[in-house]
Amino acid sequence: MKEWLRKVMTGRYGVDQLSHALLILSIILMVLGAIFRVGILNNLAMIVLVLSYFRVFSKNINKRYQENMKFLNWWNPIKSKFYNFKNKIKQSKTHKFFKCPSCNKQLRVPRGKGKIKITCPNCHTKFEARS
């Protein structure tokens, strides 16, 4: 079985982040289609699923690699924004967040210190705020 799989996958692209994302997207579409009873979502899910498998078994490795890079360039900033948001919620009990009034950089200070002077580490602008 393993030998068979190795033979089939020789020279083929394999799984990457984009095919993972397409798989997840097709599952989401299927679930949404089932909940809202919209048939077109199921068709869409099948198309996305086929596309995902097509990429995994594709022999045009260079092109698939380029697609994945494009996807990651689009996805990574979204992902890091999400993680930053999650971190902010986690730290909101112990820290307060401010935006620098001149460069808009996100600044974090410990809570409960009263009125404090904050110096932006990025542009060295000083401003007062209540922590």
Q: Using CB under 5 A, list all residues that contact Zn ion.
A: 100, 103, 105, 120, 122-123, 125
User: Closer to Zn ion at the Cβ: 69 or 123?
Assistant: 123
State the DSSP code for 120: -
User: Closer to Zn ion at the Cβ: 66 or 122?
Assistant: 122
User: Closer to Zn ion at the Cβ: 24 or 103?
Assistant: 103
Least Å distance, CB 105 to Zn ion, is: 5
Least Å distance, CB 118 to Zn ion, is: 10
3-state secondary structure of 45: helix
Report the interhelical angle of 61-91 vs 17-36 (nearest 10°): 70
Contact between residue 92 and residue 48 where contact means Cβ atoms under 8 Å apart: no
